[in-house]
A and B are shown apart, each in its own frame.
Chain A
Amino acid sequence: MAISAVRPRARAAFLNRSQWMGILFLAFGVAILLFFGRGLEPGQQAKFGLNPGWVSQAIPIPDLVLPVQPTIYILGSIALLLGGWQLARGFRSADAVLGVIAICFVVAFLTWAARGKSFNLVGMLGSSLVRATPIALAALCGVVSERSGVVNIAIEGIMLLSAQAAVIVATITKNLYLGLGAGILTGAIFAAIHAVMAIKFKVNQIVSATAINIFATGATSFISARFLEKNIDRLNNSGTFPVIPIPLLSKIPLLGPIFFENGIIVYLMLILTVVVHIVLFYTPWGLRTRAVGEHPRAADTLGINVFLVRYVNVILGGMIAGIGGAYFTIGSVGRFDEIMTAGKGFIGLAAMIFGKWNPFGAFASSLIFGFADSLQIKLQILRVPIPSEFLLMAPYLVTMIVLAGVVGRAVPPAADGEPYEKQ
């Protein structure tokens, strides 16, 4: 694409990227020792619960008990050693090492936060997956749509509209599955509007999506104020999908309670991630989609209907986002609140970019955001001396760091965001 020439040229820096990484690693090591290693009482222990707090099918296993001081010293030293090695010799894959160090940092932080207390690790990982669900679905919507070359930042608004539609229909019909259907349908409709704007009218895709986002905020708040507030029981009180433990699989310790004791929307998310991966990379439709996203002209020449592929993908993406929207209401709290998506659609886009436009990558990075989200709640319960407002900023900060490409740079589909003009 023409714009690629425009990226600011890297100046000859006094430190190269590899050296910067080394300094970053060292900084992590110092931070671990400085923030968490000071003022510890010797012999203090942190207890990590490996059985969920809820009634679970899983076979119980003993809890993990870590001595706080040695654990933090060891983790800090690992980070310092890796940093020193990076500066002296350099790792082949600095990104992977950064991942290891980030995990060291998080573990050290948790050990520090849970010192002298007990902390339910499996419970938190389980809630990470649940909290990652709307983000992962948003990211998946982005993957499906952008692989065909249409940027969709309307996911936030689409999810908001779907969330409201789902709860209203589910409350009126007293059927959660019809509510889910309504959410999916709403997602399809608004994605279709975006598709028509982007593909037929060749509107700037960011602008069209922003219009949908503003419309969604206004429309959902309008409907809330006009109808829902007065008739909460008749319109805005649906209940939520029950937790369905999967037979046998849910008995596995650790993994069982995290993955196999969830509501239907979490399972749908997991299934869709796999399905989209298979469709995208192992079917003719997926090949067409990627061809259209990378080089629509060539695809057109080969007889692929560029417009059709884009319409179908954007609308399918909208349906996936509709499931994500339904999660907010009938999947988690059973009622609609204004602006309840709180930027999750945009965080999903960051997860998509971090996941390099791959379904599994997008899922994995959604888990990071879900983890950050559930961590801040756990930390409030543990009474960590950090104001809760700052903990609430964590997912947004992580998004910005991810987008800044600290961890590897991703390349979007070549024709992403470009309207196609048939010749």
Chain B
Amino acid sequence: MMPALAVFTGLVIGAIVIAITDANVIAAYGNFLRAPGTALAATWRSIASAYGALFYGSLGSPKELYQAIQIYRSTGDNAPFLRAIWPITESLVASTPYIFGGLAVALGFRCGLFNIGAEGQIGIGALAAAWVGYSITGLPQFIHLPLAILAGALGGAFWAAIPGYLKAKTGAHEVVNTIMMNWISFRLSDWLLNGPMKAPGYRPITPNIEPTATLPRFFPSPIRFHAGFFLALAIAGLVYWFLFKTTLGFEIRTVGANPRAARYAGMSITRNIILAMVFSGALAGLAGASQVLGVDHWVGQGFSAGYGFDSIALALLGKSHPGGVVLASLLFGTLRSGATRMQSLAGIPIDIISIIQGLVIMFVAAPATIRWLYRIRVERIEEVVLTRGWGK
């Protein structure tokens, strides 16, 4: 219930932010004493139009869907139906990289590592996947596609392995190092997109990938829903199995929960830290790969667009459990695709989502604030080790 309350509180505060930054609302409160009703109505209109656009943009309207099904039944025309399901498929499309990214951060948390570098790993994974996708030609899809996906995973894994190695061998804190790797990846991709990987033309983007490297889509053109979503669900299952049913997963969790006990039990801290970082980076790389191969089909500047930072919120919200991460990703994917719509319909900057995310992280990390807010009695909760101090 705590995560639900945290999200709810985040949305409420988001609504307040929307209202108090709305010029119409501010104007209406200018003569609050004379016309309090007008001011309150303006507040309500502001919030309702914003969140209305958010929900309409992310889920569509049930009425339209119902009518569309009627039309399809009576006339066999499926265009209204496709229009009606478009918002919800967009939400699933937005959720796909979130699932991978959230799993990446969650896997790190399980080993006591805070991988803030998902952002950079996603970017490098995307570049690697795109490179395999456009530079190799003439392969059948059942070889080319897995190869491109693998390249994405390897790219992310490599990018995460560097801070992982430094953490395990020298104790350099992964939080600072992964952030430095983020900045390095941004500069590197600037260089690649303006140089070696640039498509002919003036825009700094990669060439389009070959059709044989694309993730298959299920509906005709405007709908971008692709197989990456199911791959993400499958990987979530795999991560669950890995963490809770294999020896290596057990070791990684033990190192995260109690490094000292792990050491006495004969587990190698160094090895587990490096492996956890590598797997985490591979998952983040998959996020980039799924986005390139499934949605964009090319990589441009500013590709990762905050997915990596959002992933931190997802892992925290999902309590570092693959199932929880999937649910949190569906929620945030919905919010994100709705926020795009909200930006165009109600003129609310999409950054409101980051504000809400920051608040949600705070509330999830500090359940005491939520308990205090809603007067919930204290219960003993098992503490999950998330990360430690300066590599001591």
Question: Is B195 part of the contact surface with A, judged by Cβ < 8 Å?
Answer: yes
Question: Is A35 part of the contact surface with B, judged by Cβ < 8 Å?
Answer: no
Question: Is A4 part of the contact surface with B, judged by Cβ < 8 Å?
Answer: yes
Q: Which of B53-61, B178-186, B227-235 contacts A (4 or more CB under 8 A)?
A: B178-186
Question: Is B64 part of the contact surface with A, judged by Cβ < 8 Å?
Answer: no
Q: Which residue of B lies closest to A204 (CB)?
A: B386
Q: Interface size for chain B: under 10, 10 to 19, 20 to 34, or 35 or more residues? A: 35 or more
> Do B172 and A400 touch (CB < 8 A)?
yes
Residues of A within 8 A of B183 (CB): 342-343, 393, 396
Q: Which residue of B lies closest to A342 (CB)?
A: B183
> Do B166 and A404 touch (CB < 8 A)?
yes
Q: How far is the CA of A216 from the CA of B359 in the complex (A)?
A: 11
Residues of A within 8 A of B316 (CB): 207
Q: Which residue of B lies closest to A343 (CB)?
A: B183
Question: Is A206 part of the contact surface with B, judged by Cβ < 8 Å?
Answer: yes
* Given known A-B contacts A219-B355, A223-B21, A214 and B176 have beta carbons under 8 A apart: no
Q: Which residue of A lies closest to B177 (CB)?
A: A400
Partner of B191, one of A213, A346, A387: A387
| Contacts across chains A and B counted by CB atoms under 8 Å | 176
Q: Which residue of B lies closest to A410 (CB)?
A: B390
Residues of B within 8 A of A285 (CB): none
CB distance from B317 to the nearest CB of A (A): 12
> Do B349 and A221 touch (CB < 8 A)?
yes
> Do B355 and A412 touch (CB < 8 A)?
no
Q: How far is the CA of A302 from the CA of B21 in the complex (A)?
A: 49
Q: Which of A5-13, A101-109, A264-272, A317-325 contacts B (4 or more CB under 8 A)?
A: A5-13
Question: Is A153 part of the contact surface with B, judged by Cβ < 8 Å?
Answer: yes
Partner of A218, one of B188, B357, B386: B357
Q: How far is the CA of A226 from the CA of B50 in the complex (A)?
A: 14
* Given known A-B contacts A204-B365, A389-B190, A215 and B176 have beta carbons under 8 A apart: no
CB distance from B119 to the nearest CB of A (A): 11
Q: Interface size for chain A: under 10, 10 to 19, 20 to 34, or 35 or more residues? A: 35 or more
Q: How far is the CA of A108 from the CA of B392 in the complex (A)?
A: 37
Partner of A222, one of B179, B259, B306, B349: B349
Question: Is B366 part of the contact surface with A, judged by Cβ < 8 Å?
Answer: yes
Question: Is B187 part of the contact surface with A, judged by Cβ < 8 Å?
Answer: yes
> Do A214 and B354 touch (CB < 8 A)?
yes
Q: Which residue of B lies closest to A157 (CB)?
A: B358
Question: Is B260 part of the contact surface with A, judged by Cβ < 8 Å?
Answer: yes
B1-39 to A contact mask, C-beta < 8 Å, 1/0: 000000000000000010001000000000000000000
Residues of A within 8 A of B171 (CB): 7, 405, 409
Question: Is B388 part of the contact surface with A, judged by Cβ < 8 Å?
Answer: yes
Question: Is B279 part of the contact surface with A, judged by Cβ < 8 Å?
Answer: no
Partner of A214, one of B17, B175, B361, B388: B361
Q: How far is the CA of A400 from the CA of B369 in the complex (A)?
A: 35
> Can you give 30 contacting A-B residue pairs, CB < 8 Å?
A3-B388, A3-B392, A6-B269, A151-B389, A151-B390, A203-B362, A206-B386, A207-B114, A207-B365, A208-B362, A211-B361, A214-B313, A214-B358, A217-B306, A218-B353, A218-B354, A218-B356, A218-B358, A219-B351, A222-B351, A225-B351, A346-B180, A349-B176, A389-B188, A389-B194, A393-B184, A396-B187, A403-B172, A403-B176, A412-B390
A-B residue pairs, 4 tightest by C-beta: A218-B354, A215-B358, A417-B389, A225-B349
Known: A8-B169, A201-B369, A343-B180. 8 other contacts (CB 8 A): A6-B392, A204-B365, A206-B175, A207-B365, A214-B354, A218-B356, A343-B182, A346-B179
